[in-house]
Amino acid sequence: MDLITPDFGLFFWQTIVFLVLIFVMAKFAWKPILGGINNREKSINDALASAEEARKEMQNLKADNEELLKEARAEKDAILKDARELKEKIIADAGEEAQAKADKIVKQANESIEREKKAAMAELKNQVATLSIEIAEKVVRKELSEEKKQHQLIDKMLDDVTLN
Amino acid sequence: MQPNLEPIILSRTGTMIAHKSFKIIVTLTLAFVLLPFFAFASANKVAEESEEKEFNPTDMIMHHIGDSHGWHFFGSGDNSVTLPLPVILWTDNGLVSFMSSEFHHDTEGHHIVEKDGQRFVNYHEDIYQLEEGVEAVEFDEEHHPLNASKPLDLSVTKNVAAMFLTVILMIWFFFGLASFHKKKAHAPKGFNNALEALVLFVRDEIARPQIGEKKYMKFMPFLLTVFFFIWITNLMGLLPGAANVTGNIAVTVSLGLFTLVLILVNGSKDYWKHTFWMPGIPTWVKPILAIVEGAGIFIKPIALMIRLFANITAGHIIILSLIGLIFILESHGVAGISVPFALFITILELLVAFLQAFIFTILSALFIGMAVEEHEHH
Amino acid sequence: MELLHVGLAALGAGLAVLGAGVGVGKIGGSAMDAIARQPEASGKIQTAMIIAAALVEGVALFGVVAALLGVLTT
């Protein structure tokens, strides 16, 4: 019967001891322990959050860098393209100018050649005319030395004229 | 039965288990199991020699799971080694106290202790105050004393002493952990870390899910204290010669009452409404349900206290019975079977010690959680 | 007559334990099924299992204690 009838003395002690134990432990053990655990968890969470933030910031920075790099690259490309265009233009301009100059020179040369040619031709004509007159003089002198021959010539010339 | 069966089994168990630390644990557990066996052996021998008293397993078991006024370690009669504990009695003439050693190990009511003109005897661990001129207690058929009265016994008994030991251990362990937390912010190492893991276990596995995020902090001191108190006491109870504190109904009644008081004090308006006037059911069912639910308030802590008491006591009885078989059958060979069985049960009891602490705490948390819960659907 | 009392009490305790055994067994079996189906929820299932088993066991212990009361009061 002892087994299942609570003994008052033991009940009394258990209640008192347990009540005191709860209060003592709550004040001197559980409060600092739970507080310490809480603080640690909070600081770990904070650390994790700040690490996450730093990571994000890092990512942002990286993205910024990339953007900057991209811009720089684009600028470089643009500059290079401009330069290339300029070069091509310069080359093209220079070519054109040279061509024009060359054309001009050629033209001038041609003109002078033409002129020379004309002068030469004129000279030649003069020479030929002089020569022809001289030859004609000589021939006429010879022909006209004889009377018969003079008549013959006049006739022939008249024939020619009438034929025309 | 071969008398030398036991060493063979033991050596075989030894070679089978290669792991060193496990081996140590097994050896220690065996030692713990065997120690009471030797104690009983000598007790039995002395008893046989002096009085030729027959071995009574019920008396032996009841003696071991029951409370006593001195902390008996081994030996019997005048040869026994016992830690004397204070006997404190509230008599008609006020408080009387003396050490239990003054009874000289007598529990049969023969040795009379005189104090302040009052005379006391210890009869089967109950203290009786004898009337004038009486030399021995006499009982009627209903076991009421005829010529003596029973004063209010507030003695520091074996169980109370064991309880103090648990309290000292808890204070030692957790004040250490608390002082660490006061000094440093990082996680503790070694034993303190294990303690902290257990504290976190109570918080995250028991209090938070059962009571809820908002209110669990209020009940943490009770839950932590009750968990560690029960667990440490359970484990200490498994030591040979230790007291059976949590297997004593008075202790569990007290623990159950704490839960009951917490439920009654912290019950929310919703809880009482749902208990005594459940909304959403026909009116004629409401009174019936109110009776059932009202009884339930008290049955819950009663179930808690019976569960803890019965589990721990049953474990002790099984171990003691297995050991007692050796003496009932009066053969050393039985030890070859009953000792390994007792060892197995003891290891199982290590698990039960934790499980019962866990169940008591989680059910307390569950009941408290039900009481403080605020229903949002209205 | 006293032997009959004790015997009946023991029988009662045995019956109570039998019922609890079946109950706890079913709880354990169902919990195993549930864990096999949803291993990630094993923690929650275990807690619920232990609570349910403890409640069933409590009823059985009521029976055992009642039986014990029967034995000890005869």
Q: Residue A134 and residue B10: Cα distance in Å, rounded?
A: 164
C-beta atoms of B199 and A33 within 8 A: yes
Evaluate whether residue A125 is within a structural domain: no
pLDDT band at residue B18 using 50, 70 and 90 as cut-offs: very low
**Tens digit of each residue's pLDDT (9 = 90 or more) over B318-332:** 898 888 888 888 888
Which residue out of B174, B308, B311 would a mutagenesis test of the A interface target, given it has the greatest number of A Cβ atoms within 10 Å?
B174
With respect to residue A127, please indicate whether it lies within any of the assigned structural domains: no
Whole-number percent of chain C with pLDDT over 70: 97
Quote the pLDDT of residue A145: 78
Query: Residue B257: is its pLDDT beyond 60?
Result: yes
Q: How far apart are CA B173 and CA B28, in angstroms?
A: 23
In the predicted model, what is the mean pLDDT of residues B192-208? 92
Task: Give me the interface pTM, i.e. the ipTM.
Answer: 0.84
Examine residue A126 and state whether it is found in any structural domain, yes or no: no
% of chain B beyond a pLDDT of 90: 33
Q: What is the pLDDT of residue C59?
A: 85
Beta carbons within 10 angstroms of residue B60's beta carbon = 19
Domain that holds residue A91: 9-120
Residue A25 counted as domain residue: yes
- Between chains, do A9 and B152 touch, taking CB under 8 Å as contact? yes
| A139 within a domain of the structure (yes/no) | no
Render pLDDT for B66-81 as a digit per residue (tens, 0 to 9). 888 888 888 777 778 8
Confidence tier at B149 by pLDDT (50, 70, 90): confident
Residue B168's region, left for phi above 0, alpha for psi from -120 to 50, else beta, is alpha
B20-29, B352-361, C25-34: least confidently modelled range: B20-29
What local confidence, expressed as pLDDT, does residue A125 receive? 92
The answer to whether residue A129 sits within a structural domain is no
Tally the domains of chain A.
1
**For residue A64, is it within any domain?**
yes
Structure tokens at B214: 């908002």
Q: Which segments of chain A have a pLDDT < 50?
A: 1
Q: What is the mean pLDDT of residues B324-341?
A: 86
Q: Which residues of A touch C (CB under 8 A)?
A: 1, 3-4
Q: Is residue A157 part of a domain?
A: no
Average pLDDT estimate for B9-20: 44
Q: What is the DSSP string of B240-255?
A: TT----TTSHHHHHHH
Contact residues for B209 (Cβ-Cβ < 8 A; gap 6+) = C47
Confidence of residue B28 (pLDDT cuts 50, 70, 90): low
- pLDDT score for B137: 80
Task: Give the gap in angstroms from C-alpha A4 to the nearest C-alpha of chain C.
Answer: 7
pLDDT for B184 beyond 50: yes
Please answer yes or no on whether C50 and B306 come within 8 Å at the CB atom: no
The helix (H) or strand (E) run that includes residue A100 is helix A31-143
Query: Is B154 an 8 Å CB contact of chain A?
Result: yes
